[in-house]
A and B are shown apart, each in its own frame.
Chain A
Amino acid sequence: MSKEYLILIKYKFLRILGITFKIILFLGLSYVLLRPLLFMLSTALKSKEDLIDPTVIWIPKHITFENFKLAFNSLSYLKSFINSLIASLIPAIFQVISCSMIGYGLARFKFREREIIFALIIFTLIVPPQVLLIPLYIFYQGFDILGIIRLLKGEPINFLNSYYPIILPTLLGGGLRGALFIYIFRQFFRGMSKELEEAAYIDGCSPFQTYLRIFIPNSIPALITVFLFSLVWHWNDVFQLSVYIGDFDKYTLSLNLANIRAIITGGTQIWDPLLILPPQYAGAILVIFPMLVFYLFTQKFFVESVERTGIIG
């Protein structure tokens, strides 16, 4: 056999080895990533006999939806679903609008204090939310800005137990990781061509019209990315809500999930894991299910747009 032929075989062999290695790796990691979800699903579907039956590992012999029913009721699913929707959809929409405008201002116009403001925006990312927690709590308890509301209504408004503490900051580009979204938009708008912008100005567009007609239609990937991130993070958020909301009627799905054991056991300390765990898992599946469906439909945008946004610039 010639020497070239041997090299060719060696090369092919190495290639096949690399591909096999990759397939095994991805299969293994996918298993690790999907296992919690599959495990929860299979446990939640198991009936009581299946749970103590050692021959049943993944596929239950007697499929039951009792756990899902119990979890559905414990979470007061429909009500908290609507609450979750309010507490995540509205902030997400506001964040997309406000953060894109601020990002546009930072990316496309030069003014002296621009860099300082940008540094401040990054600074807000670094400060942990715990630091602001108590002052904000007190602030929302007697909500008032410069005494204006006291002047109009006679007394400050109590915003605790409502979603205003989550919604209000998003109007002005703040809120849950608002700084990150401003950053994403700034990077994205900075990368857009100057020619388009100039053409719009020559045609007589005002800067706001240019933003609305040129920049927004051309930045759909960035808009979708930010909307998805914002929606999902608000949906999953427990920290903010657990502080501001005390009324069970206003609990969102994730808040209920964080307390699901107490709800199922009715506050008693006596409980049997065999009775508690399956409905708990069923509850977790019910809570993530809407986002999962949403993700299935948008994941193509999600992945590709993050790449095209060029978060790093």
Chain B
Amino acid sequence: MKRKKLKSLSEKQAQVGRLFVYPWLIGFLIFFAHPFIQSLIFAFSELDVSPSGLKLKYIGLRNFIKALQEDPNFIQYLTTEITNMIVNIPLILMFSLFIAVLLNQKFKGRALIRAIFFLPVVVMSGALLYVLESNSLEQFNIGAQAGMVMSNSPFVRGIDFRMILMQVTGNIPIIQPLIHAIDRIYEIIWKSGVQILIFLAGLQSIPSSLYEVADIEGATFWESFWKITFPMISPIILVNVVYTIIDSFTDYSNDVLRYILEVSFRKLQHGYSSAIAWLYFLIIGIVLIIVISIISKRVFYMGD
């Protein structure tokens, strides 16, 4: 009894804090750490799931070698997914920052415009995108069949514009992904809802006194954007880059994700699919580390 009384206030505080936080740790151990380690073991083995239980056979690096050298699909899906991501991320970021800056100003009808812009956050889902996208090819057919206008796809597509660009640039391979990005412009707009929200929250946290000072000194909007908004918002750019990368590889319309599901639930190669998932995770991890280390050097923190 006496020892309990001797506990300092900070120790008591720590006890209470632990009481609040430790449930998460239990959940983490059961629903995260355990499967996480198990999946690493699976990746190095051949796995048979039968009603009687699991059969594990250690086969070393075979699964990884298979993924990188033998499987024709994996590398292809991976490269398309990653190039898509690399092209999409700067576009999503630029677009969402631009829109956030505009939406941050006061004007009539702002509430309506905001409601429209955050609509994708609510409505957008893998299933919906799948329904919409899987039809674009057939749309073309319908159009041909019934003599309808070709632009009758649910999304606005820049087909004509793309053709012109292709002719002008003469089909240079480096520009190809960019031209395809124009084709995906609806996807970019539809995917940047959360990013706009995060940027808006960031813009709100910039003290208005900074802009007042700039105004008095005679800075234009353009100048104050690059000298105040951009540096102040740079930590949030980092947050958004990380969010966008994570979002793009947990999306249901992601080819690699669907391939992993297919391998494990149609072809029943559970060990192999774990290996692919781990490879994907490692590659994304490397991308994340590179991106974070590049950006975080340039990030400006107030008060540093």
Binding site for B on A (CB under 8 A): 19, 22, 25-26, 29-37, 39-40, 51-52, 54, 57, 98, 101-102, 104-106, 108-112, 114, 117, 120-121, 124-136, 138-139, 141, 145, 168-169, 171-174, 182, 207, 211, 232, 235-239, 242-243, 254-255, 257-258, 260-261, 273-274, 277, 280-281, 283-284, 287-288, 291-292, 294-296, 299-300, 302-303, 306-307, 309-312
Contact between chains at B21 and A238 (CB < 8 Å): no
- The residues of B that contact A182 with a CB separation of less than 8 Å are 24
Contact between chains at B14 and A109 (CB < 8 Å): yes
Contact between chains at A130 and B31 (CB < 8 Å): no
Contact between chains at A312 and B236 (CB < 8 Å): yes
Binding site for A on B (CB under 8 A): 10, 13-14, 16-21, 23-28, 30-32, 34-36, 38-39, 42, 47, 49, 54, 99, 102, 107, 111, 113-128, 130-132, 134-135, 138-139, 141-142, 145-149, 152-156, 185-186, 189-190, 197-198, 200-202, 204-205, 235-236, 239, 246, 249-250, 252, 256-257, 260-261, 264-265, 270, 273-274, 277-278, 280-281, 284-285, 288
> Who on chain A is nearest to B119 by CB?
A33
In Å, the complex CA distance between A109 and B186 comes to: 45
Contact between chains at A303 and B236 (CB < 8 Å): no
Apart from A132-B35, A207-B20, A291-B123: 18 A-B pairs, beta carbons within 8 A:
A19-B107, A29-B189, A54-B147, A102-B20, A130-B260, A133-B277, A169-B31, A172-B27, A182-B24, A236-B126, A238-B125, A238-B126, A243-B261, A273-B138, A280-B135, A287-B128, A312-B198, A312-B236
Of the candidates B20, B28, B119, B277, which one forms a contact with A130 in the assembled complex, judged by CB atoms under 8 Å apart? B277
Known: A172-B31, A280-B131, A299-B115. A128 touches B250 (CB 8 A): yes
Contact between chains at A124 and B28 (CB < 8 Å): yes
Of the candidates A32, A35, A134, A255, which one forms a contact with B264 in the assembled complex, judged by CB atoms under 8 Å apart? A134
- The residues of A that contact B124 with a CB separation of less than 8 Å are 236
- The residues of A that contact B36 with a CB separation of less than 8 Å are 127, 131-132, 135
In the complex, number of A-B residue pairs with CB atoms less than 8 Å apart: 275
Q: Decide if the interface of chain B is mainly helix, strand, loop or mixed.
A: helix
In Å, the complex CA distance between A54 and B146 comes to: 7
Among A120, A132, A258, the most chain B Cβ lie within 10 Å of the Cβ of A132
- The residues of B that contact A22 with a CB separation of less than 8 Å are 102, 107
> Who on chain B is nearest to A177 by CB?
B250
Contact between chains at B102 and A101 (CB < 8 Å): no
Among B123, B141, B246, the most chain A Cβ lie within 10 Å of the Cβ of B123
- The residues of A that contact B23 with a CB separation of less than 8 Å are 98, 101-102, 172-173
Contact between chains at A254 and B146 (CB < 8 Å): no
Known: A57-B149, A108-B17, A135-B38. A236 touches B27 (CB 8 A): no
In Å, the complex CA distance between A26 and B42 comes to: 51
Of the candidates A105, A106, A126, A307, which one forms a contact with B288 in the assembled complex, judged by CB atoms under 8 Å apart? A126
**Can you list 24 A-B contacts with CB-CB less than 8 angstroms, sorted by A residue number?**
A22-B107, A51-B146, A54-B147, A54-B148, A102-B21, A105-B19, A111-B14, A111-B18, A121-B24, A125-B246, A130-B257, A131-B277, A134-B47, A139-B34, A174-B28, A277-B142, A281-B131, A288-B125, A294-B122, A299-B115, A300-B111, A303-B118, A306-B201, A312-B239
